[in-house]
């Protein structure tokens, strides 16, 4: 089709100087992330989950209030933040799954060979993926949380649970909600890279978030209270909860614990990426 003698492009003498840098690797990963349709779709799904389920919960609260169930614990302990951020439980699944896809998807398709041939030092790829996906999930989480709370406070206005942006701790909770999604996303990126399998990564991530808390009930009660609060899911809950219960971590400690989990997963991923054949 085309002539082959010009394959050289520029002549030897004027050879441009290229160099792989961390910044360029981030740029490349950024372009890769946004050039896949699955990224857009899954982010949209996450946004819809957070908003829709939060607003349904707000609406349900007002229905119960109006029906006179004021002593129902579900109604009694409720506050506007907790109600409106209910959808995070579902949004986190979409974000976590997308995180797994960002890394494990490269292994299942074979793209990883191109990626690592371009950046053979390997680790910058993992850091770049964690960085950009963490940033995207943070932004998405903050936007979704503010939107859910903003619209939700309209639904809840006049009720006992009604809160405004100006109330104590509200802004912190909403930003923490974004941080929570970012860290779950990073855990997904790390698990995908560690396990190199989309199915395996999703299974471990969802198992940890959904099944392990349930298994805690098998432990003696005194242990439950001590152990359970350190699970990723519960540590995350305490990050964005407006009020802490007896056996939950403070928001800051919740953040630190979840960061610890993410760091652990990343360390495992980095070890495998560096040590084993691609």
Partner 1 sequence: MIEAQQLTKRYGEKTAVDRLDFTVRPGTVTGFLGPNGAGKSTTMRMIVGLDAPSSGSVTVNGRRYAEHTAPLQEVGALLEAKSIHPGRSAFNHLNSLALTHGIPRRRVEEVIELTGLQSVARRRAGAFSLGMGQRLGIAAALLGDPATIMLDEPVNGLDPEGVLWIRNLLTGLAAEGRTVFVSSHLMSEMALTADHLIVVGRGRLLADTTVKDLIRQSGGDTVKVASSDPARLREVLAGPGVEITGRSGSEELEVTGLAARAIGLKAAEHGIALFELSTKGVSLEEAFMELTRDDVEYHGSTTVPSVHHAEAAEPVGSAA
- Give 85 or 273: the residue with its C-beta nearer to partner 1: 273
- Phi, psi values for residue 168, rounded to 5°: -55, 130
Minimum Å distance from CB 118 to partner 1? 5
> Is residue 49 classed exposed, middle or buried when 0-12, 13-18 and 19+ CB atoms within 10 A define those classes?
buried
- Give 35 or 221: the residue with its C-beta nearer to partner 1: 35
Q: By CB under 8 A, name the one of 4, 66, 221, 222 that touches partner 1.
A: 4
Q: By CB under 8 A, name the one of 66, 68, 217, 277 that touches partner 1.
A: 277
Q: Give dist(CA 120, CA 107) in Å, integer.
A: 15
Q: By CB under 8 A, name the one of 43, 53, 113, 243 that touches partner 1.
A: 113
Pull the structure tokens for residue 158. Answer: 């006049």
Q: Decide: is 216 part of the binding site for partner 1 (CB under 8 A).
A: no
Q: By CB under 8 A, name the one of 32, 60, 69, 272 that touches partner 1.
A: 32
- Give 79 or 103: the residue with its C-beta nearer to partner 1: 103
Apex 66 CA angle, 63 and 70, nearest 5: 100
What binding mask, one character per residue, do residues 33-72 give for partner 1 by CB under 8 A, x or -?
A: --xxxx----------------------------------
* # binding residues, partner 1 (CB under 8 A): 45
- Report helix angle 123-156 to 170-195, nearest 10: 140
Q: By CB under 8 A, name the one of 13, 15, 71, 73 that touches partner 1.
A: 15
Residues 6+ apart with CB under 8 A from 139: 178
Residues 6+ apart with CB under 8 A from 136: 33, 43, 185
Q: Decide: is 111 part of the binding site for partner 1 (CB under 8 A).
A: yes
Q: By CB under 8 A, name the one of 43, 81, 104, 119 that touches partner 1.
A: 119
Minimum Å distance from CB 122 to partner 1? 8
- Give 101 or 142: the residue with its C-beta nearer to partner 1: 101
Q: By CB under 8 A, name the one of 82, 93, 104, 106 that touches partner 1.
A: 106
Nearest CA-CA partner of 258 in 141, 157, 86: 141
Q: What is the DSSP code string of 109-178?
A: HSHHHHHHHHSTT-HHHHHHHHHHHHHHHHHHHHHHHHHHHHHHHHHHTTSTT---TTSTTHHHHHHHHH
Q: Decide: is 121 part of the binding site for partner 1 (CB under 8 A).
A: yes
The residue ranges that bind partner 1 (CB under 8 A) are 1-2, 4-10, 12, 15-21, 24-25, 27-29, 31-32, 35-38, 105-106, 109-114, 116-122, 277-278
């Amino acid at each position: 089709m085309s002539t082959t003698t010009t394959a050289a492009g520029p002549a030897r003498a004027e050879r441009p100087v290229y160099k792989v840098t961390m910044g360029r690797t981030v740029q490349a990963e950024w372009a890769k992330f946004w050039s896949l349709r699955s990224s857009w779709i899954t982010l949209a799904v996450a946004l819809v989950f957070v908003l829709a389920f939060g607003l349904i919960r707000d609406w349900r609260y007002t229905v119960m209030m109006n029906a006179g169930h004021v002593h129902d614990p579900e109604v009694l302990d409720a506050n506007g933040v907790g109600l409106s951020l209910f959808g995070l439980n579902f949004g986190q699944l979409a974000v976590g799954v997308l995180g797994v896809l960002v890394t494990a998807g490269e292994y299942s398709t074979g793209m990883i060979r191109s990626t690592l041939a371009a950046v053979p030092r390997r680790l910058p790829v993992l850091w770049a993926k964690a960085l950009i996906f963490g940033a995207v999930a943070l932004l998405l989480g903050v936007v979704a949380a503010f939107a859910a709370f903003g619209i939700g406070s309209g639904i809840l206005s006049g009720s006992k649970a009604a809160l405004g942006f100006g109330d104590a701790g509200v802004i912190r909770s909403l930003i923490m909600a974004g941080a929570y999604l970012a860290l779950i996303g990073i855990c997904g990126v790390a698990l995908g890279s560690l396990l190199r399998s989309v199915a395996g990564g999703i299974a471990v991530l969802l198992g940890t978030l959904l099944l392990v808390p349930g298994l805690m009930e098998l432990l003696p009660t005194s242990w439950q209270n001590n152990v359970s609060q350190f699970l990723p899911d519960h540590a995350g809950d305490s990050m964005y909860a407006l009020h802490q219960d007896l056996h939950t971590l403070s928001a800051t400690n919740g953040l630190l614990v979840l960061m610890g989990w993410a760091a652990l997963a990343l360390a495992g991923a980095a070890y495998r990426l560096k040590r084993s054949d691609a």
